[in-house]
Each structure stands twice: as C-alpha cells, then as structure tokens.
Amino acid sequence: MVKRRKRRPALRRTSSVPNPIQPGYVSPQRSVPSDIGRPDYALDGIPKATTPNDLRKDAATLDRMRAAGSAARRVLRKVAAEISPGVTTEHLDETCHEACIAEGGYPSPLNYNGFPKSLCTSINEIICHGIPDDRSLREGDIINCDVTIFLDGVHGDHSETFAVGEVDQQSQKLIDITRECLYLGIGAVRAGGVVSDIGKAIQHHAEEAGFGVVREFIGHGVGEIFHHLPNIPHYFEPSARFEFKPGMTFTIEPMITIGEPKATLWDDGWTAATMDLSRTAQFEHTIVVLEDGVEILTVDETEIQPFIAGGKPDVWPARIRATSTNGGTSDK
C-alpha cells in the first residue's frame, strides 16, 4: 500500500476512454477473529505510532518481517488464483481477508485511516488504493492487487499487476516494463547509497520505453509501523539524499503509466486514477538493506534472491500468475 505524497483536486471523468472504471457497491467491513493480533489503528482507524528514531531493524525484527513478507506472498498467490473474467473485486477482497486470517495475521489495509477493505484492487486507469466492490473483472482488464499483512507485530507489503484473460499488446508491455522497473529500482539500492538512486533507475527505464512515472504516490519505510520514513520517490529527485544503512526496511513500488503520469483522486478519498484515464501498472516488494546487498523480504524462503552477495541480479523471482498458484522460480 503506497504512501500519498500530495493530493490533487478531482477531475471530471471523460467519456473518450471506453468503459472507464466507475465506483460500485462497497459492502461493510469484514470482521477479524479476536485472537488475531491487531495494529494500533484497527479499532478507530487512527494510526498512533510514529517513525522510530532508529530506522534500522534488529535481527529478531527482520526475522519477523521475513515471516510476514512470505505470508504476504502466499496471500497474493491465493488472490491471483481467483482472478478471471466475471470475478468481482469484492470476491478478491474476501479471498485476501480469509487468507490473511488463515496465516494468523490481520489484513493491514482494513480500517487504516478508515480504508474499508482488506485489499487494494486497482483496475486499468486506477493507479492505487482502489476499493473492492461489486464490479466484475472483464476480459482485457489489468488489475493490481496490493496485499499487506500484519503478522507478529510487523507488516509485509507486496503487490503485482495481473492480466485478466488476454490483454492488448500495449497493456502487456506496460505490465512487463513496470515489473522491470521494480527490480531495477531494487538493484540500485546499496548501503551508503541514497534514495535518488532508486528513482533514477526507474525513471530512466520507464521513459526509455515511452511510459511515465507517477509522482504523487511513493514507497515508504515499513516494519512495526505500516508507513514511516524514508520516503521513496520512484522518479529522479536530486534532493532525495537520505542515505541507506544496513537494517533499513522499506517498499519500492513504482506506478508506471501509458499516458500522462498525473493523478486525480475520487470522491471516496482513496481511489487514485490517471487524469487522462490511461492505463497504469504497479509492482511492489518490501526489502532490507544489507552490508553487502539487498534482500527481498516478500518472497518465499525457497525463491531467488538476486541482490544478495553471490546472487544473479538479472535473474528475478517469478511473477505470480493469475488463475494459478504455481509461482515457479524465475521467468526473467
């Protein structure tokens, strides 16, 4: 789940784009069993914790984050297995909610600043924070599913974009380039490096392919708190000179657009769409900076770690496939 950087006024939606996404019926919040550990905002929707003085996580916290990250990966696989034409995003939310509980965790988006659901589902021109409702997926849609689970006191945050059935060539290229942007951004991180290294790598690759990079929403620090410093812009910002140190954990989650990378916010206060209604995609991992590389926390223990010492930076964990629970090892 991304961090909002700034808010733009709502824009009247045009009819020039066929079948633009419209808000549907949103069902009431789902309940969570009383024995499941909850973040501090679960009851009233108000986060209480603030950014810690030391952003570095100790070994015990990192072990908990590995477990939460792996759980988020498994939950996302279960959600992806349900993606097909005719399925509602409400059903995907139910799948995510029940899968988080089965993992022993709390679905982090639920009631975070009042967000009404357990999953973010962002279709076609929706950049991020789409609210699951009764709209059915259609052949040719693309959808980002953003899963975060609160498990054993920490959050694991992970998302991918999926094709719904067969999609057009440009949409598939958008998905592929966005995924590449994620891993190129991760590969730019190193102890002693700075935040702007990430955005530089991502922006160069996206624009070289003819796409744009959303600026209003950014990656963020994560751990025992859902969103904290550092802020991670996915475009090159020369002033972003925050220095990475071993033990720091944060998300990288580029949002890439076919058209103009400018956002507008729906009246629900959450759903962000491209102003020109062009399609957009997003991929996200939670990572930790190491002394000699970077570890991806939102993968299974058996999956590839490209950016640790001795890893192969051009061989990445496999993308999760819609309507399949078989994650494989790599399809770079």
Q: pLDDT at residue 18 above 90?
A: no
Does the pLDDT of residue 324 top 50, yes or no?
A: no
As a whole number, mean pLDDT of residues 64-83 equals: 98
Average pLDDT rounded to a whole number, residues 180-187: 98
Phi, psi for residue 102 in degrees, rounded to 5? -60, -30
pLDDT surpassing 50 at residue 227: yes
Lowest mean pLDDT among 2-11, 49-58, 173-182: 2-11
Question: Which domains does the chain show, CATH number per domain?
Answer: 3-8+52-296 (3.90.230.10)
What is the model's pLDDT at position 52? 87
Query: Mean per-residue pLDDT for 55-84?
Result: 98
Span 83-135, pLDDT tens digits:
999 999 999 999 999 999 999 999 999 999 999 999 999 999 999 999 999 99
Both ends of the chain: CA-CA distance in Å? Answer: 25
User: Which residues, in sequence order, are CB contacts of 62 under 8 Å at separation 6+?
Assistant: 247, 249, 288, 297
* pLDDT value at 328 more than 60: no
Read off the pLDDT band of 8 (50, 70, 90). very low
Please state whether 124 falls in left (phi above 0), alpha (psi between -120 and 50) or beta.
left
Mean pLDDT of 249-256: 98
Residue 15: the pLDDT is 35
pLDDT digits (tens, 9 = 90+) for 290-303: 999 999 999 999 99
Tokens of residue 136, six digits: 């059915």
Q: What is the dihedral of CA 57, 115, 36, 325, to 10 degrees?
A: -80
pLDDT at 142: 98
DSSP structure string for 248-301: BEEEE--EEESS---EEE-TTSS-EEETT---EEE-BEEEEEETTEEEESSS-T
The overall average pLDDT reported for the chain is: 93
Reported as a single tens digit per residue, the pLDDT across 190-219 is: 999 999 999 999 999 999 999 999 999 999
In the three-class reduction of DSSP (H, G, I as helix; E, B as strand; rest coil), residue 227 is classed as: coil
With CA atoms as reference, report the closest residue to 100 among 48, 38, 162, 46: 38
Residue of 246, 253, 243 lying closest to 218 (CA atoms): 253
Share of the chain above pLDDT 70, in %: 92
What's the pLDDT score for residue 4? 61
What is the arithmetic mean of pLDDT over 68-87? Answer: 98
pLDDT of residue 13 exceeding 60, the answer is no
Count of positions (residues) in the chain: 332
In the prediction, which pLDDT does 331 show? Answer: 56
Maximum separation of any 2 CA atoms in the chain, in Å: 53
